[in-house]
Amino acid sequence: MCLKLAPADVRQCPRCGSAMHVRKNDSIQRTLALLITACLLYIPANLYPVMYTDSLGSAEGTTIMGGVVLLINLGSAPVALVIFIFSVMVPSAKLMAMFYLVWSVQQQSSLDLRKRSTLYRITEFVGKWSMVDIFVVTILVALVQLGGILTIKPGIAALLFAGVVIITMIAAENFDSRLIWDNMEEKNSAN
């Protein structure tokens, strides 16, 4: 996919040969429904434990932010920063960016078309990296099984958080970024 523009009747990209499609039907409605679903999952994903540690029979649940605070207290501030950025900041920023893009398309805004297009591309690319927290829990569960002394199990928030990431990735895929430019094309054709 090289992002080359071509006339609507062309079915194959003249530059790279990939299949071209005309439009994504009901893009705004599907994207908005997926974003609302992701927001509804994001709240309990931050409130419930992402993992449980069982040390000598004493189980304790840890939320994402609780894990960040714990890592800071243990002297692992760089790891805590990575988890904070990719588990709190990136998903929140992606949700806000996608809501902004949907809103700007619905308002037929012609402000900063290139910047909005770039925002969409960045949001689509970076969103996949917010799974870092889930990978950390998965690696900890696999590695830290010290024969009954310490056991780590994933919590419900890990599943909810994975759902948020997957749903926002689907929302970004459902958003037809060409809608950003439609208002400009209509103005140019009217002149």
Q: What's residue 68's pLDDT?
A: 84
Find out whether 85 and 131 touch, Cβ atoms under 8 Å. Answer: no
Could you tell me if residue 75 is left (phi over 0), alpha (psi between -120 and 50 degrees) or otherwise beta? left
Relative orientation angle of helices 156-174 and 113-126, to the nearest 10 degrees: 140
Supply the pTM of this predicted model.
0.75
Distance CA 29, CA 78 (A): 39
pLDDT (tens digit, 0 to 9) for every residue of the chain, 191 residues total?
566 777 777 888 887 787 776 777 788 999 999 999 999 999 999 999 988 877 777 778 888 888 888 778 878 888 788 888 888 888 889 999 999 999 988 888 767 788 888 888 888 887 666 666 566 666 655 655 555 566 777 889 988 988 998 899 899 888 888 787 776 655 555 55
pLDDT at position 20, please? 75
- Domain residue spans of the chain: 27-177
Of residues 51, 48, 49, the one with CA closest to residue 143? 51
* Whole-number pLDDT of residue 47: 93
Q: How far apart are CA 65 and CA 47, in angstroms?
A: 9
